[in-house]
Structure 1
């Protein structure tokens, strides 16, 4: 009994100290502290994909195209992982901000359980229907074998991939971004180390790349699970799983924007690859795939910055400190835009060299450099769109957050990719994302203004 009281007291002290840290630390200092590890975490996640693309590029153009095609499947796995992770993490942060530890614990375990169930279903069903799935994502006759070989192994790792995204996000929303970063970095070390060993030394081709990726994901899962089980406040425990209407509704409300954002990104990648192949060839698919990975790497830095803001937003919104929510939003938009201006300029100037570094093929570079330059021109728009989406999501504004998260890769991109290539051929494929980014910012701005005005009035 005395031991239980001591544990309860320690938990209360820990909750109070985290709450004070997130609600009283000056906003610039707080966001910088939280965003550095989340930026590193997002860059590490992007590195998983970049490493495969780089080393597979040493094999053939078809192999590079195959990895790009399977990225749409990986994006779906990631979407479901973020759905469970962001949905549960948002709720956990709001509950901790309100001092409700029991509900936070139950949500952590429920979100983890959902991800494991989704992952097992995807692994089994995906491998059963591997042939039609490969055709559906745009594999050509020349890339079909590599696509199936890479995807079959990636699907096996789906449960661990999804669960590590859940634990990672739950730790972030508790303000423990450093622990989340450590878990991801452990996996990245394995992935990057195994890629050249399995692909180049043991000559395992795309299978080696896939094994390296899922090994890295599995190591991240083990490290993050260990950290979570030994957590001082919130722990994943099978006894706390509550698959009931209340928690499922909260996960859906908080996670739907991420599901829309990531899920539509997967659909957009699938369509991009299909039309690149239809109006070009394997070299066009490879060029667009490399461009996508490069932009994802740059975008991940801003997403990481926004993820550092999310626990600040959730905690302070739950604690009714609306002025801190607004201050954090403007801080992130300002410095996110400045960073992307410089990053976009570098990509525009050195576009041919960047594509050439991944695949030394003139046809690949011809397509990739044009697409990269188009996207570099509007890259700064991403800061406003991403930070607005994360603010709305963290505040529990599910509908608005879902619309803003769907705009870039869904509402605008999908109609554009279906129309522009028919009119302009491969140039239409190259310019689609650029136009979609401009239109997406046009939706994000009025949504942000309306919510910021409401908060200002409430102050």
Structure 2
């Protein structure tokens, strides 16, 4: 039988359950986003605006390696949620053991390769000119800590699948708070510059890893695996990979987007334009935290009830998640539209960047109220274990629409065309996702 916490996913009222699952996820994402945001503010004010661009170059490379852990975590957690929902505890344990083994093997190998090709990767992602040297310093140190981050991301997804969102929230808060404290000590007090920023980030990943390790070794976790569970099981690996590939593909597209944007903007406007994108990118990570929190909270609810064949609860969870997300997205949209200038002043005193960034930010966030449908729709297919539609819907925004648009629109509108690519891609991908989600509900989410 499912444990007490996971069983609640199939019994409690959806609205109450979604708030309970989403609130800690939102707080965790908020703290993590604030960490990235404040880290950028510290770096911009204590090191310089070029340092902001340098970090923006490194993040997609480091996060792609870490995203392997996230992908394995999301893929395996979908299995765990559905296995607990159908009372198949042994499959849940095997999936968790395989998640750990797979994450370790892949991320350690990728980190080693990343370090070997440092001088090739950094320029490829836009680390050119004055950006290269600070980016290289930051990259080499941060990449050493990325396997720890990957294990944290994997473990965090599993904690949510167990129906314990508060522990998952703390797992996100610990590295964020730790990073900010260490930023102050290493950059401001010890004047270590980019090296200090990098060590602050790496040490925070390691702290998070030890917290998650404690969670699974303590009585808090339902999943008590044996050494036999670490051995690779091909059917389980195949299922983890097919579902996790959706998340990995999403992060791969994010990394490709950074690569394209940094290079295109460097050609159009130099280092200042790359810095503008870095600030807008940080706001994208930060401002959408409540919507992303709803999405994270929705996943275990939908997965558990789908595994338990409670399809009407799945439908209600979809509708409730979309409603809550749209309301929150409207608040985000309004804040960006009214306070764009004030936001930019927090990051830098560079007059050129202050003049250019608010307009870019307003354009990028123009379609924010409708992105909730796209996020929840793609998340549903992943939670239900439907890898192919989840994968294709994940590709729609950045793969099918954004990347072609970012090549086409700048040819017509210049740098403004780069920013226009964001809302146009959001609109088109939401239309596509809405169509397929509506068809899925009508065909397959009918009363048992």
User: TM-score scaled to structure 2, two decimals?
Assistant: 0.96
Contact 2:3/2:222 (8 A) holds in 1: no
Picking from 193, 207, 212, the partner of 1:205 is: 193
Matching of residues 44-123 of structure 1 within 5 Å: 44-58=31-45, 59-123=47-111
Query: Is 2:358 the counterpart of 1:372?
Result: no
2:138 maps to 150
**Alpha-carbon distance, 1:457 to partner:** 3.4
Could you list the runs of 4 or more consecutive aligned residues of structure 1 that deviate by over 6 angstroms after TM superposition? none
Matching of residues 322-401 of structure 1 within 5 Å: 322-401=311-390
**Alpha-carbon distance, 1:237 to partner:** 4.7
1:6 maps to none
C-alpha distance in 2 between matches for 1:62 and 1:16: 50
Matching of residues 14-413 of structure 1 within 5 Å: 15-58=2-45, 59-230=47-218, 231-235=220-224, 237-413=226-402
| Cα distance per residue 1:426-445 (max 9 Å; x no partner) | 11122221211111101110
**Alpha-carbon distance, 1:16 to partner:** 4.4
Contact 1:228/1:236 (8 A) holds in 2: no
Number of residue pairs matched by the alignment: 446
Deviates more, 1:308-317 or 1:253-262: 253-262
Deviates more, 1:306-315 or 1:237-246: 237-246
In the alignment, structure 1 segments of 5+ residues that lack a partner are 1-11
| Cα distance per residue 1:346-390 (max 9 Å; x no partner) | 101111211121112122123321221012221112111111111
**Alpha-carbon distance, 1:458 to partner:** 4.5
C-alpha distance in 2 between matches for 1:129 and 1:20: 47
C-alpha distance in 1 between matches for 2:227 and 2:418: 47
Contact 2:98/2:232 (8 A) holds in 1: yes
C-alpha distance in 2 between matches for 1:345 and 1:181: 27
Q: Alpha carbon RMSD of aligned pairs, Å?
A: 1.5
Paired residue secondary structure (1:302): helix
Paired residue secondary structure (1:99): coil
**Alpha-carbon distance, 1:210 to partner:** 1.2
Contact 2:314/2:445 (8 A) holds in 1: no
Contact 1:109/1:235 (8 A) holds in 2: no
User: TM-score scaled to structure 1, two decimals?
Assistant: 0.94
Query: Is 2:423 the counterpart of 1:429?
Result: no
**Alpha-carbon distance, 1:236 to partner:** 5.2
Paired residue secondary structure (1:157): helix
**Alpha-carbon distance, 1:162 to partner:** 0.3
C-alpha distance in 2 between matches for 1:235 and 1:372: 46
C-alpha distance in 2 between matches for 1:336 and 1:359: 31
C-alpha distance in 2 between matches for 1:44 and 1:121: 30
